[in-house]
Structure 1
Amino acid sequence: MNQLELLKKHTIVVLDSGDIEVIKKYRPEDATTNPTLILNSALSEKYDFIINNAVQYAKGIGGSRSKKIKNACNMVSAGFGVEILKYIPGYISTEIDARLSFNTEQCIQEAVQIIKLYNDLGVHSSRVLIKLAATWECIQAARQLKDLGILCNLTLLFSFAQARACAEANVFLISPFVGRIYDWYKKLNLLSNYCWETDPGVVAVRKIFTYYKKNMYKTIIMGASFRSLGQILELTGCDRLTISPSLLDQLMMKKGDIIKKLDAKKISKSKDKPIPLSESEFRFLHNQDAMAVEKLSEGIRQFSADQIKLEELLLERF
């Protein structure tokens, strides 16, 4: 057996791609997208049918130019999601506009609209995870959306404070960004005597996993944004891991046994959960982590920039 097959014995493997042809190739359990992946796929002529359908949908709804562009963007995201769901049995994660990351009510409205689009396209909301940046505002939006039957994937997660707040809000799933945490430490030359076991991204997910399982939180942990096979294999046993096509290829090519590094059954359970963080406590604790503050802000800026590029692409089609 190759290492991908062995990994799947301990962890649900998710594909991180918006390319439908890649989805067909790997047939993962779930798939995740983000504005950058959607933009890259939208630039390919083979997906013109999704773009054209979105533009026609927005024209039919009418309204101002900004409203048409917004509706078209949401339909593009839903359109890619619907196509991807034809080839996977589980969830598709669809991200909302990152520029809404600090507005709880607007996040809720956007999520409801995207779920309605999926419903109109014949997809039940139980197959869709709405991706939100793990800001305080988005975490509260996810809490309220769950009451509406809409499940969320809290992304751009870098600090332990973010992970705690998500669990306390009973968020469905979180995506700690292993590779981007690693990038920050590498950029500042803080990785002397580096090994995969002590990789800062790996250590962050291991800490979250232990804390969640100890306190019996139901929130699913899905490690994301990997840079190497070593990072992935050190998190064997994590609830889910979302992996890029290039790293999946490497796993498929490698032989050799792998060891289950994370095992919830070996973690002693606590009788009492910690007292939930207040907003001010969350903001202070998150602020104490310079890496998390920088990477969360950078991620929101990057996804916002790619959202704008997608809007500009759609505007040309109008």
Structure 2
Amino acid sequence: MSATLYSPLSSGIYSSSSFQEKKLRIAVGSAKPNLIFKPQRLFSSIRAASNFSSSLDTGLSTELDAVTSYSEIVPDTVVFDDFERFPPTAATVSSSLILGICSLPDTKFRSAVDTALADSECYGFEKSDDRMSCFFNKALVNVGGDLAKLVPGRVSTEVDARLAYDTHGIVRKVHDLLKLYHGIGVPPERLLFKIPSTWQGIEASRLLESEGIQTHMTFVYSFCQAAAAAQAGASVIQIFVGRLRDWARNHSGDSEVETALRRGEDPGLALVTKAYNYIHKYGYKSKLMVAAIRNKQDIFNLLGVDYIISPLKILQSLKESVTPPDEKYSLMRRLSPQSAVNYNFTNEELLKWDQYNFASSMGPAAVELLSAGMDGYVSQSKRVEDLFEKIWPPPNV
């Protein structure tokens, strides 16, 4: 089974960890030649291998060549520094990105925000909160529309994390965003909607996917989240390997994490392995995306997973590491649909997930990390609205 970024992928533009540096970040995949940017890029083709292979093809010359033959690699690069080296092919528009755009008045995306703030439809709301929410939606969609013109893949749009425990609130928000996208000519097949993996978020995914609206479930830190999202039909499920590992270094009391540690396994990698095998053994349509990669070994241990978001410094290291044909070691594909068939699950893991057994299966790692991730999203959203309150109406309008 071959999965390419032209499926397309949902990863995307991220804000830098430091806005003081005034850089925006974009997770970039690769696909067929980009029609907008010059085709000078690191990857000419990135796709998962269609057939299981146990070792490195001796015709491949670098570690990067090897890993990209097994998994889609999504470079996480700086928009304004690396357009030529890493032309973006898929993107995410988020509250963090909006903040970053507003910190860089000369960026090409700033006009999309200013246009949103000048939209007369939002003026009719008497309450400031409603008006700012309207402007926020318009800004997300305007920027998303600009990105859709620049990338051949899908644009994933962050859904307000303040709705994370409100299934119908999420569905209404996605419908509102989708209507705005329709208004600027972006078709639904070019879009994903990024939703926190609470039970209510997963239920919203189920409803939206039943309508043909593609969802991207984020903040997955436990098997029950991944399995429930797969059962809901989520298009993309994103697991943060490094964050789960960091939690395990400083905490205890999570049975899922401790089971992995007793087997001598990294808990983040173990979760990806179990989720991948579950999805492929039982025929779910979901694609598995892995983020928070810390080093090259993480990538080697995940070869075969659908998508890997990797920092540029790791990709550069892979590119510079040559693997001659007579190299004594080989890079092994760790995950494949064939190997998934032989993975054994317990009866407890093969539940039809509902709200009760989902809640009882969420360990402290998933609860804390999910909460922390959503708190970050909520904080960024509030910052956007506070900023819009200060700069509305924009100059020259």
Task: Give the TM interval when normalised to the shorter protein.
Answer: 0.7 to 0.9
More divergent stretch after superposition (142-151 vs 21-30): 21-30
- Whether the 8 Å CA contact 2:101–2:110 is kept in 1: the answer is no
> Could you tell me how far 1:187 is from its partner in structure 2?
3.4
Q: Is 1:78 matched with 2:141?
A: yes
Q: Write out aligned runs for 1:243-262 (5 A).
A: 243-256=310-323, 258-262=331-335
Distance 2:101 2:300 in 1: 28
Q: Write out aligned runs for 1:20-39 (5 A).
A: 22=82, 25-39=85-99
Pair 27,241 (structure 1): closer, same or farther in 2 beyond 3 Å = same
| Percentage identity across paired residues of the two chains | 27
With the length of structure 2 as denominator, give the TM-score of the two structures: 0.71
Cα deviation code 1:27-46 (max 9, x no counterpart): 35433344334433432222
- 1:276 counterpart residue number: 352
> Could you tell me how far 1:232 is from its partner in structure 2?
2.4
Q: Is 1:125 matched with 2:178?
A: no
Cα deviation code 1:16-66 (max 9, x no counterpart): 579476566423543334433443343222242122112112665531322
1:106 pairs with 161, 166, 169, which one?
Answer: 169
Greater relative contact order structure (CA < 8 Å, 6+ sep):
1
Q: Is 1:299 matched with 2:359?
A: no
> Could you tell me how far 1:180 is from its partner in structure 2?
1.2
Pair 203,138 (structure 1): closer, same or farther in 2 beyond 3 Å = same
- Whether the 8 Å CA contact 1:59–1:68 is kept in 2: the answer is no
> Could you tell me how far 1:181 is from its partner in structure 2?
0.8
- 2:269 counterpart residue number: 202
2:130 pairs with 67, 73, 80, which one?
Answer: 67
Structure ID, larger Rg: 2
Q: What residue identity is the alignment partner of 2:283?
A: M
Number of residues of Structure 1 aligned to a counterpart in Structure 2: 311
Give the unaligned 5+ runs of structure 1.
none
Distance 1:118 1:112 in 2: 10
> Could you tell me how far 1:2 is from its partner in structure 2?
4.3
- 1:93 counterpart residue number: 156
> Could you tell me how far 1:207 is from its partner in structure 2?
1.2
CA RMSD of aligned residues (A): 2.8
Q: What residue identity is the alignment partner of 1:63?
A: F
- 1:55 counterpart residue number: 117
- Whether the 8 Å CA contact 1:178–1:224 is kept in 2: the answer is yes
Q: Is 1:240 matched with 2:314?
A: no
- Whether the 8 Å CA contact 1:17–1:31 is kept in 2: the answer is no
- Whether the 8 Å CA contact 2:165–2:198 is kept in 1: the answer is yes
Distance 1:62 1:254 in 2: 59
Cα deviation code 1:259-306 (max 9, x no counterpart): 322111233279x994411210111001xx111111001111111001
- 1:144 counterpart residue number: 207
Cα deviation code 1:185-205 (max 9, x no counterpart): 2334999xx9xx933211110
- Whether the 8 Å CA contact 1:58–1:68 is kept in 2: the answer is no
1:26 aligned counterpart, secondary structure: coil
Q: Is 1:154 matched with 2:230?
A: no
Distance 1:151 1:249 in 2: 32
Q: What residue identity is the alignment partner of 1:53?
A: T
Give the unaligned 5+ runs of structure 2.
1-60, 324-329, 393-397
Distance 2:359 2:176 in 1: 29
Q: What residue identity is the alignment partner of 1:201?
A: G
> Could you tell me how far 1:249 is from its partner in structure 2?
4.2
Pair 147,284 (structure 1): closer, same or farther in 2 beyond 3 Å = same
Which has the larger share of helix?
Answer: 1
Pair 83,291 (structure 1): closer, same or farther in 2 beyond 3 Å = same
